Each structure stands twice: as C-alpha cells, then as structure tokens.
Amino acid sequence: MTFDHPIQRPSGQWKIEDNSLLIHSSLTLFVPDVYAVQTPKIINEKQVNVYDVIDGQQRLTIFYSYRKDEFALTKLEPVTLESNGETYDISGLRFSELPEEVQDSINSFMITFRVLEFDENDDEESIIDTVFYRLNNGKPVSKEHLAFVSASKKVQNYGHERINKSGLFLNVAHFPEGSIKKSDRQMCILQSIIIAGKLDFPSFSTKDVEAIFKQNEIEDETLQLLDSAYNNIEKTFQDKSKFVTKVNIPSMVALFLNNSDQEKVSAFLQWYSQNNKKGDSYRRYCVGGTTKKDQVWGRVNGLQALYNHFVSESSE
C-alpha cells in the first residue's frame, strides 16, 4: 500500500481535536472506509498489484501516530467498551497511558478498504477524480488542492514528483506548515506552468487556475522549460530562503525563461533577495490582491525592469 497518488493530500491536515475525535469514534461509533486504487507495477522484474490510497491517508496516519505515542487526546466524552461494558475516561491520555482494555480495542479495530479496479477500457483518471470529488464534497479540502486535482494526470504526476523529490521544494522554497496543508506548493506549480506555457489567464485565483487546467492540455515542452527554471532557482539559492515563496517563484520562473544569461539572472536574484525595498517596481505588486492579472504581470515586468537596471549598472 502506498500514499503516492498525486491527488492525495499530505499528512497533518487535521487539528489535534479532529485526531482525538477519530480515536474516540473508533471506540464508540465507526470510521469511514478508506479508498484505494489497484495499480499494476513492476517490482524486481515482477508485475504486482500496488494499492494507492486516494482517500483515507489522514485517518490511517493518525491511528499510526497515536499508537506511536505522538500525541495526547483532548477532552473527550468517556467511552464504554462493548467487550466488557466498562466505562473509561481517556481524555488527555497518550496510547501508552490508556487502560490495557482500551489499547486492545484500538489495536483490534478494523478499517474497511474499498479498492477501485479498472477494466482495460475504463477512463481511470476521470473515475478517480469523480470519486475524489464525491468523497470530499462538503469536507474542508482546500480550493488549491481541488484546482490541482482538476489538472491532467500528467500535470498531477509532474507536481507530485517536484514536491516530493526536487531540491527546490524540499530544500530551498519557503512554505510554512499551514501553507503546505492548504496545498500552496501545488498551486505555485500550476501558476508556474501558466507562466512557462504562456497561457492566457484572467487571474491567478484558484477558480481561474482550475478552469485553465480543465481547458488546456499542457505540452511536455512547457514542463521541460519549467524544470530548467526550477533547477536554476534551486542553484541560485541552494539553502532555505524566505524569498523563494509561492508569490515570488512564478516571477523568477519568468525571469529565467525570458533572459538568456542565466548566470547574470542568478547573480541578480541573489543580490535582490537581500536588497529589495518596500515599494520598488517589484514589491509594489506583492501586496493586496496578488492573484489579480495586473498584479501578476506587474511582478513579472517589475522584476525584469530591476534586472535590466542591475545588468546596465554592472556593465558600466
């Protein structure tokens, strides 16, 4: 079983109160089914069926985390076990602090798995997207994540690969925990693709970005161009930088793709990340309404103007 499907949100989405209620529900009520996709993969030269979870990662990881003593329960109603009819107050307790009977009940709790299997002619991508939307209808899934799910499987896989394996997103970019939970990294990648592919856009809002990726097929060449820009941003900063953010990354992508001297662009960005000033021709477009079209192009053109000035001064 894996949690690698690109539409699956990362762990840690729930608050501690939600985690506690899940544990309480396993003792008193029920826990919703987990959904997975059966995917054939070649492992050690043999084809085997791998099950990718598309809904339920939060529930599974919370059970694992609690049993590892990684959090204590919040204030909860006492639980009465069916096995012995006894009532227990479990508020504030870690797993290791629970009465043995309650531990046994949690350890023996069974979660139902529902596996989606596909026939040769099934539209796998469409079916998975439909299931995801229906399972999460009315639940607090971020608009950013739903926009990412609206993209083609190729784009989803591209984004998933960059977030989990590229140095830019692992070691350099600055995305706070709350931003990661909201899928801001995925949205940043979608916005970067729009810039790299020179796609027309009414705004960078989640609604408009979602519509763009429903309506446009993204070429491999666009993703290759974006990779080159991402690699250059990573080489420029190397270590974690508070300048490499969701707002700034698409503008830096444009700067690298619109100028041939990559070393000068890199030198400029290193300098500007330390010497930018409030109200300059870039930062004036980084406050208030940053998703509006004129703000997006204001940042792109403003950064280009500052780069031109930097090159002009350095050549004198």
pLDDT of 91: 95
- The rounded distance, in Å, linking the Cα atoms of 43 and 132 is 27
| DSSP secondary structure letter of residue 97 | G
pLDDT at 138 over 90: no
Neighbours of 276 (CB within 10 A): 16
pTM value is: 0.64
pLDDT of 32: 85
Percent with pLDDT over 70 in the chain: 90
Q: pLDDT-derived band of residue 116, with 50, 70 and 90 as boundaries?
A: confident
pLDDT at 103 over 80: yes
pLDDT at 7 over 70: no
Contact (Cβ atoms closer than 8 angstroms) between residue 293 and residue 209: no
pLDDT 10s digits, 28-77: 988 888 888 887 777 777 878 888 888 888 888 899 999 999 999 999 99
- The rounded distance, in Å, linking the Cα atoms of 276 and 290 is 18
Q: pLDDT-derived band of residue 8, with 50, 70 and 90 as boundaries?
A: low
pLDDT 10s digits, 202-255: 999 999 999 999 899 999 999 999 999 999 999 999 899 999 999 999 999 999
**309: Cβ contacts below 8 Å, ≥ 6 apart:** none
| DSSP secondary structure letter of residue 21 | H
Contact (Cβ atoms closer than 8 angstroms) between residue 208 and residue 201: yes
